[in-house]
Amino acid sequence: MSHSENTGDLAPGYTPPSEGHEPIHGLGGYLIGLGLAVLLTAVSFFIARTTLVWQPSIPVAIAVLAVAQMGVHLVYFLHITTGPDNTNNVLALAFGVLIVLLILTGSFWIMAHMNHNMMPMDQVIRMQG
């Protein structure tokens, strides 16, 4: 009996994996991910230490390699794909990124306005004396 004939015993929102959107499972997938992660890390260290690359482009190259590293981790280790059965994972990831961005933005805003909101030092000294 196939999945399409017996849909009554499936969890709500579950759709069977479609062809072409299978996540990379098993030891082989993890080894490919590990190899790519090690390669990207090694290239990052090489770029940071070499004089063969134009110096102003090094931060951009490291940022691009960092984004590629995140992509490798998402696909090979967290199994985040574009398949229809993966919508909840993508939404959870997007929500997590939103929370992290809100915390970072709030922290930077607080640090940028900290001196403006603090009492001047001469008043602090007069209160203590």
Q: What is the pLDDT along the chain (129 residues), one digit of tens a residue?
A: 454 555 556 666 666 655 554 556 788 889 999 999 999 999 999 999 998 989 999 999 999 999 999 999 988 988 887 777 778 888 888 898 999 999 999 999 988 888 777 777 788 788 886
Specify whether the CB–CB gap between 75 and 22 falls below 8 A. Answer: no
Distance CA 117, CA 110 (A): 10
Distance CA 2, CA 74 (A): 30
Predicted TM-score (pTM) of the model is 0.58
∠ CA 98-73-92, rounded to 5°: 30
Distance CA 80, CA 85 (A): 10
